[in-house]
Structure 1
Amino acid sequence: MIIRIDPDIDGVIVTLPPGAGQRQGLDLIRGKESWVLGGLDALPPRAPFAPGAHVPFLGVEHLIRHRQGRGIPVRRAGNIITVSGRAEHLARRLIDWFRQQARAEITPRVDSKAAMLGRTGRPISIRDTRSRWGSYSVDGGFSFSWRLVIAPEFVLDYVVAHEVAHMKVMDHSGKFWAVVAELTDDVQGARDWLKDHGDAVHRYG
């Protein structure tokens, strides 16, 4: 049996082997009550996109403002992000804007880093994935989380470098990490940041 904290539901998921019953799962939870409660308490607070809330963009805190009426759906000026239109559409419009910004930040980095390896860029998709910040496959190209633009720029740059490096080395051998280091600065700092703050990034929106 496997038990884990799931931040998406602010709860616990228990995976039972074939033939196991619900009672066994409940017994497992009761036996690990202290661990479960501690894990739930340790989850970063949720940070909904709402007027007056703050959200980082490339690691810099920005204030979210709402403006009634038509106009440019989302506008960033200084450290303020203004979302126009009906209030109930604010979160969706802001997520769409973050997706656009992610593509704008990531695409030229993929192209330039691929060129450093003597390769050409591949198709890029922007998604909202929890298990991976990015991925690369020979057939499918690149996939990145839009949430990378919430993180500091050096972290985003590292994730792009990590995936582009797979164009040359598909495993995570020493040779692979040497290629990553050629494509970006502060590899360890970026990895540490994702380890320490990655869960919090997923709480926005």
Structure 2
Amino acid sequence: MDAFEVAGTPVRLRRSARARRMTLRVGRVGGAVTLTLPPRAALADARAFAEGHAAWIARHVAAVPAARTVAVGTTLPVAGREVPVVAGGGRAARWTGTAIAVPDDGHAGRRVATLLKEMARTRLVAATETHAEALGRPFGRITLRDTRSRWGSCSGRGDLMYSWRLAMAPEEVLDYVAAHEVAHLAHMDHSERFWACVARLMPDYAPRRAWLRREGAALHAVRFA
């Protein structure tokens, strides 16, 4: 048995040689529940552990944003504002300033994702250059990915990675992520010195960080397949 239900919610079991205790995780997209347990843990103990956390499971599953698929006739956030996806000519998705126009050919999601990547790159490169200049630190390559666990990262060589889904976040939130990663060019940790550096680059970063922690899962719930 690799799964069971707790109060009607499927719980998938995953054994890990590195696990020292049982832990529960609710996926940020879709709300799938995974119970990780040590190799020798008994299934009866796993079930009892999950059932003992039934209220926790229900609360966190209910908090997961519903998935939404991009298509002509739907809406999605762009720079923090809900905008319509409308039928348009040409072969690519196009930002009109108030809507995204895209051919209604069954590939709208993929075309819109391409547009968002272009918008994200333009904004993130500009924000990164601004903060790096203020910090007096050079940076390397900038790459965009569709990451689930982080919005950005900085390598020891100064290369920066960002999630292109930041194109959907408010511009001030995207700017915060750029400031956060640029600060790692000076401090490759999350020490007090690092956060002081973020504060120098962006004194009002706290509400922007809070928005991302509170609303970020909704950006991951947008599907472009």
Structures share a fold, TM > 0.5? yes
Further displaced range: 180-189 or 129-138: 180-189
Q: Does 1:66 align with 2:87?
A: yes
Aligned counterpart for 2:153 among listed residues 131, 135, 139: 135
Deviations 1:136-165 (A, max 9, x none): 012361110111111111111011000001
Aligned counterpart for 2:62 among listed residues 26, 32, 41: 41
Aligned counterpart for 1:30 among listed residues 47, 51, 58: 51
Q: Which runs of 5+ in 2 are unaligned?
A: 1-21
Secondary structure in structure 2 of the residue aligned to 1:64: strand
Aligned counterpart for 1:80 among listed residues 75, 99, 103: 99
Aligned to 1:201: 219
Contact 2:29–2:67 (8 Å) recurs in 1:
no
Aligned to 2:182: 164
Deviations 1:83-107 (A, max 9, x none): 12522x1111111211111111101
Q: Runs of 4+ in structure 1 displaced over 3 angstroms?
A: 21-24
Aligned to 2:12: none
Aligned counterpart for 1:13 among listed residues 29, 34, 50: 34
Q: Distance in 2 between matches of 1:93 and 1:101?
A: 13
Aligned counterpart for 1:125 among listed residues 143, 158, 161: 143
Contact 2:77–2:83 (8 Å) recurs in 1:
yes
Contact 1:113–1:183 (8 Å) recurs in 2:
yes
Secondary structure in structure 1 of the residue aligned to 2:68: coil
Percent identity (aligned): 39
Deviations 1:170-203 (A, max 9, x none): 2222222222122225211111111221111211
Further displaced range: 23-32 or 73-82: 23-32
RMSD (Å) for aligned C-alpha atoms:
1.8
Further displaced range: 6-15 or 99-108: 6-15
Aligned counterpart for 2:201 among listed residues 171, 183, 192: 183
TM-score using structure 2 length: 0.83
Q: Which runs of 5+ in 1 are unaligned?
A: none
Secondary structure in structure 2 of the residue aligned to 1:192: helix
Q: Which amino acid in 1 is paired with 2:198?
A: V
Secondary structure in structure 1 of the residue aligned to 2:209: helix
